[in-house]
Amino acid sequence: MRVESSSNAEPILHVRGLAFARNDEAVFGPLDFSLARGETLLVEGDNGSGKTTLLRVLAGLLPAGAGEIRIGARAASHDAVAGRMVFLGHQSGMKNDLSPCENLVFLSGLYGTREGADVASALREVDLAVYADTPLRQLSAGQKKRAALARLALLPGELWLLDEPYANLDRRGIELVNTLVAQHCARGGAALLTSHGAVRFADPRARHVRLELVS
């Protein structure tokens, strides 16, 4: 499957012949696509079609079975993605015994902060300021998801990899995701989102890729 960027700018993410197999059974691929600054790519597919696996491969959490991934002009590696990528998976990546504020302070200590951002403003941006000091384990699933989304408003990284970012969110939360992505792309970033198809990214300019179940 080949999906080319509509931009003439140098891609932030460039993928060629990317494939993954588990126990000698193909999960997805080969895939060819690129993503430039200001662009959004929505990867859709049924459960089991490989959407989460694709993002984990792109994030370097799983090794590719075949193909090439480039971040900017460099082959993907720990050094190449450092400070350039934010991955938001099914798990929040936060500690349940800490509050949203404490979690974000810890994460910003590890990865730094985006220019002009701080913990308080990130929590306000996702409508979670009132729960800033409440332990994460006491929050609802939707509130925990908002705490995870606050990472996007806080941490540096021009490439966002968002796995099912609409899960556990109400209509206001869905609008929040779309706003965060639109603002990020307007700043010159790029975003790759997955969805099972029930919710579609609002921007009509977003490109779409559909992963099919491998029989």
Angle at alpha carbon of residue 3, lines to 47 and 28, rounded to 5°: 35
What one-letter code names the amino acid at 76?
A
Q: What are the residues facing 87 on neighbouring strands?
A: 161
Mean pLDDT of the chain: 86
Token digits of residue 196 = 């099972």
Q: If you search the block for the tokens 């799983």, which residue do you land on?
A: 62
The answer for 74, left when phi > 0, alpha when psi is -120 to 50, beta otherwise, is beta
State residue 3's pLDDT score. Answer: 54
pLDDT at 208: 72
Name the more confident of 2 and 20: 20
The 3-class SS string of 140-207 reads CHHHHHHHHHHHHHHCCCCEEEECCCCCCCCHHHHHHHHHHHHHHHHCCCEEEEEECCCCCCCCCCCE
Evaluate the omega torsion of the peptide bond into residue 63 and state whether it is cis, within 30 degrees of 0: no
- Determine the 3-state secondary structure of 85 from DSSP: strand
Which of 70-74, 80-84, 127-131, 165-169 is predicted with the least confidence, judged by mean pLDDT?
A: 80-84
Residues 6 or more apart from 3 whose CB is under 8 A from it?
32, 33, 41, 207, 209
% residues pLDDT > 70 (the chain): 87
pLDDT average, residue stretch 92-96: 89
Q: What is the pLDDT of residues 60-82, one digit of tens each?
A: 888 999 999 998 877 776 665 66
Task: State yes or no: pLDDT of 105 exceeds 90.
Answer: yes
- pLDDT of amino acid 26: 87
- For the cut 80, the answer to whether the pLDDT of residue 148 exceeds it is yes
pLDDT given for residue 149 in this prediction:
95
210 confidence band (pLDDT: 50, 70, 90)? confident
3-class DSSP string for 86-104: EEECCCCCCCCCCCHHHHH
Binning pLDDT at 50, 70 and 90, where does residue 58 land? very high
Q: CA 72 to CA 135: how far, in whole Å? A: 38
